[in-house]
Amino acid sequence: MLDPDPTLYVMESNPTIPNPKVSAKATRRRFTAAEKARILDAYDGASAIEKAAQCRRERIYSSLLSNRRKQR
């Protein structure tokens, strides 16, 4: 029987060792005005399936695009 990868387990005995796969603090992504316009233009001209694919590709929610559309 093969031993599992030991890096997949968190050591319970010493909680002070941070997990190297997780960043200490999450940071928010920031988009420039040009990026926002590019994403909205592509989203507005896309079909429903293409819109979903673009949201996944850009890693954003459709509600964010709705809010940006209202701000135009």
Higher pLDDT residue, 39 or 6? 39
Q: Is the pTM for the entire model greater than 0.85?
A: no
pLDDT tens across 13-66, in order? 666 777 777 777 878 889 999 999 999 999 999 999 999 999 999 999 999 999
SS (H, E, C) 3-67: CCCHHHCCCCCCCCCCCCCCCCCCCCCCCCHHHHHHHHHHHHCCCHHHHHHHHHHHCCCHHHHHH
Residue 17 in tokens:
């060792």
Q: Where are the domains of the chain?
A: 32-72
For residue 14, what pLDDT is reported? 60
Residue 69 in tokens:
């559309």
Residue 45 in tokens:
């001209």
pLDDT tens across 50-61, in order? 999 999 999 999
For residue 11, what pLDDT is reported? 53
